[in-house]
Structure 1
Amino acid sequence: MPALAEPPTPDLLRRGRGSRVAWLILGLLLVGIGFVGIFLPLLPTTDFMLLALPCFARSSPRLEAWLLDHPRFGPAIRAWRRDRAVPRHAKVMAGLGMAVGYAIFWLHVRPNWLVSLGVAAFLLFWIIWIARRREPEAGQ
């Protein structure tokens, strides 16, 4: 389901040029960080693409459409936008990434038990939150 690049909306045209440029720069920065995340296993890629989407919606409908139509990130972004759904493989990878990140943190920092417990509780909260998100329906 390709997202068509629509002409700028009146709301977009009402925004000042400086505002649109600032949103565009922020969106490009977030896409850049997401791109780095492709190569760094503990840096989430899709999360930064999701954050870039509203920036592009406020600055460039063409880049918003590009992100929605991207063969790798588009389906997950559209599922999140439409249903707040997270694919099962993304849930598994998020959980594994947090577990590996915690293990690396624990082995290298050797925090006291209170800090260790606090970080573990924080990560556990987010793992449960992600696991409870809906999954996209097949074919969407």
Structure 2
Amino acid sequence: MRPPRRLRWAWWLLAYASLGLGLLGMFLPVLPTVPFILLAAFAAARGSQRLHHRLLADPRFGPMIRDWQAGRTIRRRAKWMATWTMFASTLVLVAVVLATGSGRWWVVALPVACMAAVATWLWRRPEPPGGDG
């Protein structure tokens, strides 16, 4: 479904901004990659067919996007990678709070609670049929 021509620029902008954040998330453990790439694909389908086709053809992102579009599924390998990244982020948060001696437990508790909620949602998602490939 194509949006009206006057709104296509907003979808295009959202697609490229999300893609940029997703690419940053590959290097920054506190920034998630998968949700931003999925959002980029969603917005690109409405604002930039060229970007949408490039994302689907990409060897890293294409399978993840196709799995999501086909049945809202997430591969087990992606679940494990996300879980270990969140765990590493938690360790970094705890180390920073302990190193600074701030004693502000909520600085750790709030992001850890968010990551726990994301991990719970993530592991409740079905996996695609036919293995993890």
Do both share a fold (TM > 0.5)?
A: yes
- What RMSD, in angstroms, separates the aligned Cα atoms of the two structures? 2.3
**TM-score normalized by the length of structure 1:** 0.77
Matches within 5 A, 1:1-140: 11-12=2-3, 15-17=4-6, 19-110=7-98, 111-113=103-105, 116-138=108-130
Distance 1:88 1:57 in 2: 26
Distance 1:33 1:116 in 2: 23
Distance 1:42 1:118 in 2: 13
Misfit runs of 4+, over 6 Å: none
**TM-score normalized by the length of structure 2:** 0.80
Partner SS, residue 36 of structure 1 = helix
- Residues 46 and 77, structure 1, Cα contact 8 Å, conserved in 2: no
Q: How far off its partner does 1:114 sit?
A: 5.3
Any gaps of 5 or more consecutive residues in structure 1?
1-8
Partner of 1:5: none
- Residues 86 and 136, structure 1, Cα contact 8 Å, conserved in 2: yes
Any gaps of 5 or more consecutive residues in structure 2?
none
